[in-house]
Amino acid sequence: MITKGIKALCAEAEKEVETWSLDQVHSHLEDDDVVLVDIRDIRELWRDGAIPGAVHAPRGMLEFWVDPDSPYARDVFQSGKRFVFFCAGAMRSALAAQSVQAMGLSPVCHMAGGYAQWKKQGFPTETKEKK
């Protein structure tokens, strides 16, 4: 039997990481010092679309892409910019931001409401084609 469920894990993460509102994120879309990081599965991007300019970093590989000593390290995470993580509903992104923040990546935050709320708000999206 588990002793701590996903709700408790997400609540703990929310206490540890900064959360940006949809409006805050939208106001930084053109900010070169802010990187939006979409941690959803690629199939979610194909099905639902994406935020223009966001970097796709699937949740399962995130820590490997962030760690500069990993064979999978990605340069974008060594840039010193602010990282705004998001997923479909703001649960995975809270956990992701907490994890990379614990690794020392800074500054990081996650987007309240997730991509579903972003889309519902009418903010810009783009279609992602299967490659």
Q: Report pLDDT digits (tens) over 34-88.
A: 999 999 999 999 999 999 999 999 999 999 999 999 999 999 999 999 999 999 9
Q: How far is CA 31 from the centre of its chain?
A: 16
Please tell me what DSSP assigns to residue 109. E
Does residue 128 lie within any of the structural domains? no
Does residue 39 lie within any of the structural domains? yes
pLDDT, average across residues 114-127: 97
Domain of residue 57, residue span: 7-120
- Summarize pLDDT for 87-101 with one digit per residue, the tens: 999 999 999 999 999
- The Cα-based distances of 77 to 74, 125, 126 in angstroms read 6, 23, 23
CATH code, domain carrying 82? 3.40.250.10
Question: How many folded domains does the chain comprise?
Answer: 1
Task: Return the exposure string of 107-118: e unless at least 16 CB atoms fall within 10 Å of the residue's CB, then b.
Answer: ebbbbbbbbebb
